[in-house]
Amino acid sequence: GSLIYTGIAPGVSWTAGSALSILLLGLILWAFEPIPFGMTSMVIMVLLVMLQTVNIDVMLSGFSSPAVFLVVAGVMLVQGVGQTPLIQRISYGLVYKLGTSLRRLFIGIFVLIQFLAFFIPTNSVRATLLLPLATRVVDSIGAE
């Protein structure tokens, strides 16, 4: 952390410089993966508090956001759908209605994404749902 901090411009405040150096350290740890991702996150959070970059209340405030629970609950729901035959039924229904033309299937999946936006507000959850769906559709028509 201090090695990275010394390379930062001298006019940068301690808070900004330490935050930037911790960010760069985190990127290096995520890129080369010497420790697991979850452990890297814990190291970053501990460094942020120990180096007095942020207050512990500020650091933990993101965990109390309702958006975090929305995304976690949505991903859990999608994983449940992915482990049941429902995703297979939806993919077969798309192929049945749209045929085996890749162009029509692409347009159908695009329209489905827009339709799901009304019910699933987060992009990450929609992507998590549509990835196995699109994979099943491609597998069901035998395309690569």
- Reduced to 3 states, what is the DSSP secondary structure of residue 80? helix
pLDDT at 18: 86
For residue 54, what are its two tokens? 């942020």
pLDDT at 3: 54
Q: What is the pLDDT of residues 124-136, one digit of tens each?
A: 888 888 888 888 8
Place of tokens 């029509």: 104
Q: Which amino acid is at 54?
A: V
pLDDT bracket for residue 42 (50, 70, 90): very high
Contact, 95 vs 105, CB < 8 A? Answer: yes
User: Nearest CA to 137 among 85, 81, 80, 94?
Assistant: 94
Q: What are phi and psi of 41, to 5 degrees?
A: -65, -40
Q: Which amino acid is at 92?
A: Y
pLDDT at 48: 92
For residue 106, what are its two tokens? 């692409």
pLDDT at 61: 84
Q: What is the pLDDT of residues 11-23, one digit of tens each?
A: 778 888 888 889 9
Contact, 42 vs 20, CB < 8 A? Answer: no
